[in-house]
Amino acid sequence: MKTSKFESNKCIAVISIHGMGEQSPMDTLRGLVQSLKGDGVLLNQPDTVSKSYELRRYSYFEDLSKYDFYEYYWANLIQEKGIWNVIRWLKYLLCKKFSEVPKRLRIPYFFIWIAILVGIAYLGDLAYSISSVFEIDNACNLKFLGIESVKLIPFLFFIIILVSLLVTSKLNLYFGDVVNYTIPAKNNINEREAIRKKGITLFKSIIDRQNPNGSPYYDKVVVLAHSLGTIIAYDILKIIWAERHDKISLHDATELIKFDNLSREALKNQDVSQYQQLQDKLRDILLAQNIQKCWNVSDFITLGSPLSHASYLLVDSHNIFNERVTELEFPTSPPSPSVDSEGSFYYLSDNTQTSHEPDSPSYVLNHGALFALTKWTNIYFKQDFVGGAIDCFGKGIRNIELHPVGIKTRYVPFYAHTSYWDTNQAASVNLLKSILGLTTSRANQ
């Protein structure tokens, strides 16, 4: 019997989260899907999950697998607060101790300070030059070599306003969203909450979708985020995991002990691929025992992620960051142990609702053990200073550095940061296809 092109044995959801800047709905998702699709069937359908009329869902069928691509669009939830927020943020970062600056950012940090000092010197020299070359009469007229030209004050005011508008618009465009989300303050708390709540609702709707028999509709859920979107996605995942971790349990600790021991050995040998295989195996075991309460978020993929500079951007110092890791506020890969669990990332629960049998013990993963089950792959271009290797969140993250193709991506500042799924960037596109299990087309190789 002929197989329908819409039949599938495996369903995978991909949730994309856009980055900073003036993003429009579907911009990220359309570009991403067009780069990833191969010779299979692509359907553009209404997105009934996000409840937004601006968004669509792409369903892609390939080799008996169905991929549903969703976009989490959050840009409309942030309002510009003005340039002074950005300036205060830059001052906050630039005035930190040099030892707190990540090595990858030290060259930009150094050149920004040089630019500031040169700019101050230039303005001083310019003011002196104007005073020596131009003459000002009693009517406040500007005279150059004795010839009256324009009113001095309106002329200078126009130049200052023009330059200020150009500079502030660029700063707000690239950094306004970052300031409003990463730095908690009384004037942006509601926006941060709104972004997280909307994202949590979307993620839960996708994760919790079920077949008629109660099993998960999606075999895997992949979260693919770019730039500032990686921080937002990280926050959403850790919140959902913290709400659900004690609902997913094992009746004995044998598999958890085995995972812990083998993981330590794999990462001691710097074998992240082996560690990710162990994550897949543990997630499958939990799915078999918790068919209706599983955690099917298999992958967290970050592109050009500022999480590589988390201890610099999100907190005041490395010490504070490490404290929050120890307190499980920041989930790591591999997971950090609970303070009260004798060095383990799991514990024996006293909640009988999580037990498979009323009198049997129930072992659950702690609220920071998100990345015991979810693999984290971080991709970045060498020329992209926004991203970089994410080392501060543990050795279990698969960091992949790539070299972009093209003169602009190599030499124009920030251009590489927005090029991860460009069709001419074969290395990054094929890598994303490989992680998702899509066929890599020869045309892109």
- Complete DSSP assignment for 374-407: SEEEEEEETT-SS-----TT-TTSEEEEE---SH
Q: Note the residue count of the chain.
A: 445
pLDDT, tens digit (0-9, with 9 covering 90-100), for 62-71: 888 999 999 9
Q: How, if at all, do strands 362-365 and 346-349 pair?
A: antiparallel
The pLDDT, as a whole number, for residue 359 is 56
Annotated domain spans of the chain: 10-78+189-444, 83-182
What DSSP assignment string belongs to 408-427?
A: HHHHSTTTGGG-TT-TT-HH
**CA-CA-CA-CA dihedral for 277, 278, 283, 285, to nearest 10:** 120
Residues 78-90 have pLDDT tens digits of 876 666 666 676 7
| Cα distance between residue 424 and residue 445, in whole Å | 10
User: Between residues 331 and 38, which one has the greater pLDDT?
Assistant: 331
Distance CA 108, CA 381 (A): 16
Average pLDDT of span 134-138: 51
- pLDDT tens per residue across span 391-443: 999 999 999 999 999 888 888 767 888 899 999 999 999 999 999 999 765 44
- pLDDT band, very low/low/confident/very high, at 311 (cuts 50, 70, 90): confident
Structure tokens that stand for 365 in this block: 């993963």
Q: Which residue has the higher pLDDT, 344 or 272?
A: 272
pLDDT-derived band at 341, boundaries 50, 70, 90 = low
Residue 81: the pLDDT is: 60
**Sequence-distant (≥ 6) Cβ neighbours of residue 192 within 8 angstroms:** 180, 181, 184
Higher pLDDT, 359 or 53: 53
Distance, CA of 135 to chain centre: 55
How far is it, in rounded angstroms, from Cα 180 to Cα 190? 10
Is the bond into 334 cis (omega within 30 degrees of 0)?
A: yes
- CA-CA-CA-CA torsion sign (406, 408, 412, 418): negative
Separation CA 230–CA 245 (nearest Å)? 21
**What is the full DSSP assignment across 37-70?**
--SSEEEEEE-TTT--TT-EEEEEEETTEEEEEE
* Percent of the chain predicted with pLDDT > 90: 47
Question: What is the Cα–Cα distance from 184 to 181, expressed in whole angstroms?
Answer: 7
Q: What is the mean pLDDT of residues 369-378?
A: 96
Q: Is the pLDDT at 294 greater than 80, yes or no?
A: no
User: What is the model's pLDDT at position 149?
Assistant: 47
Phi, psi of 180 (to 5 degrees): -65, -30
Give, in degrees to the nearest 5, the angle at Cα 177 between 327 and 239: 30
pLDDT of residue 159: 58
Give me the chain's average pLDDT, please: 82
Lowest average pLDDT, out of 17-21, 39-43, 86-90, 351-355, goes to 351-355
Q: Which CATH class is domain 10-78+189-444?
A: alpha beta
In this prediction, residues 175-180 reach a mean pLDDT of: 69
Dist. CA 17–CA 29, nearest whole Å: 8
pLDDT at residue 275 greater than cutoff 90: yes
**What's residue 366's pLDDT?**
93
Q: How confident is the model at residue 148 (pLDDT cuts 50, 70, 90)?
A: very low
pLDDT at residue 6, rounded to an integer: 58
Residue 367: per-residue pLDDT: 93
Whether residue 170 has pLDDT greater than 60:
no
* Helical (H) or strand (E) element with 154: helix 152-182
